[in-house]
A and B are shown apart, each in its own frame.
Chain A
């Protein structure tokens, strides 16, 4: 995907996840591929049911993939054993939306931060205490925080604790699943600045999953847009925001108002709801809501192609910027 950079820290190829449920099989993730470079932030956006959280869970192997491969550096962890996974988890960690849910309320913050170190038998007790103080400082919490319990902290501070815990093992990758979605905007700014600082000093890579487009735009170097289990567009942030090629990307950007954006949406907006993942439309999964859909779209799933170096799109009639979207309609005769 990005041939100009060093060996990716994470490489996902053809990844699919199917869930068997009482209502049938859900194809939650279908043929997803991307690389994550060292020190890079890849944003993943999309609406409910697009598979972004399944993707996060599959990458940290909380969910088993049904096809494809996940490589951490050179190592294939797609089917790694429990023991191998434990080693892999030193390199890949996760931060969730609600840190309270992942922090045991009976433990002190010091114990919570030392636990991953103890599990991996890193350092002596005293070493770990020093490391805890260091982690707290890194995330902007006072050393006294080590003796208190999570519930004594505000939402923003708890998220700092969650981030500190994820960083304890000095991972190469942190998967952030909606890390600021539950926070007020002034606190959100604090956490986004913290993440940016940490990445600059530690060189860690982030996979940042979010639904707030302005947040994803802010934090990401590259962005993948997902719809019903597939990546429909992937590219560096600025080309995606300047020239969205997939009609869904364009609709998403249009639909999300922002204070420094246009007063009115540029297009009419999408009609209808996202189809149920239990009952996926044939052909292009977006065709039921796409303003440009043709017969081809209704019958044949579009392959992913590279519009310009690093800019991938899965659409039969992408907006290439050469002509307005009438070119897409022209294509319907083929």
Chain B
């Protein structure tokens, strides 16, 4: 990628506790280009949501960014003061969340809220802002925008609210949209509508999207490149198709193997209880280590079938592999699993 819109380098985030800092995100680097959709995937506690918040300077205490840079169109956001950050937020980078109600004001109509978002960043008349708002509502496919303009968020369905939040996020025509599990609370047919909308926006407007999710199925359909996190670190970053066809990191392999397979992969023999074929799912043994008990070497070593002395002692640095990067001492051999 010649000129990324967003470039994160060596990002580290720690929770400040009485017993000292607990690192939650460590030495994370990635970049996203114009119109590209990058997914950050991983299980609970891997640091993906904290990373998303850090991109907008929104890490809540006791969390704190302890190192690294977040360059948006060349400018390091982490070096900006709160006033300057507020200027950038909403205008050049904005965020949508799993539950829109946390971001929407329940006592303002959706139209007023979007207008406010426009007026905050641009010196336009209220009339112009109102017209832009209607256009935005239409842009996110909200039927009958003029009527919806005057409606309160709680009167809307979850899918409609998510559309309103996207309209608000787009008010300043940002270069980057950070989407943290935007469809996790939605029904699957509504999820499909919202994801196609986001996909369409980035294709037509060139918005770069950082998409935080735990859903590998969603990733496989909508995303260009995937970054897999485990216990606060990037363990693998690949083009989506390559990642699913041939994952390098043992954790990525485990995640993919743990997913129930469809018709095509179903065994013909081996009847289950009522005569239906069912192959065992691959489990990842054990659990993610607690932040306070992170092993000194590779954090996945205690659960990894390939772990040896080196893995227990030293953290594997990300190194080039195929279309991306992998952080595993055994990456070359792990094909053998």
Contact = CB atoms under 8 A, between A and B. Distances in A.
Asked if A and B bind, the verdict is: yes
Interface of A: 37, 39-41, 47-48, 154, 156, 184-190, 192-193, 196, 199-200, 203, 211, 213-215, 217-221, 236-238, 241-242, 251-252, 254-261, 263-265, 269-271, 273-274
B283 A186 contact: yes
B190 A236 contact: no
Which of B160, B222, B254, B278 has the most A CB atoms < 10 Å from its CB? Answer: B278
Given A189-B282, A255-B191, A214 B273 contact: no
Given A189-B282, A270-B189, A39 B273 contact: yes
Contacts of B265: 260
Nearest to B143: A272
A234 to B, nearest CB: 15
Contact of A260 (B222, B262, B280, B287): B262
B262 A217 contact: yes
Contacts of B160: 273
A184 B188 contact: no
B261 interface: yes
Which 7 A-B residue pairings sit nearest by Cβ, starting from the closest? Answer: A218-B260, A257-B221, A47-B187, A189-B258, A184-B43, A186-B284, A255-B192
Interface in B263-318: 263-266, 272-276, 278, 280-284, 287
Contact of B218 (A196, A218, A257): A257
Interface of B: 43-44, 157-160, 187-193, 196, 214, 216-222, 244, 254-256, 258-266, 272-276, 278, 280-284, 287
A238 to B, nearest CB: 7
Nearest to A261: B262
B280 A196 contact: yes
A238 B255 contact: no
Contacts of A265: 192, 221
Given A214-B260, A217-B262, A237-B276, A269 B196 contact: yes
B263 A238 contact: yes
A278 B195 CA distance: 28
Contacts of A273: 157, 159-160, 190
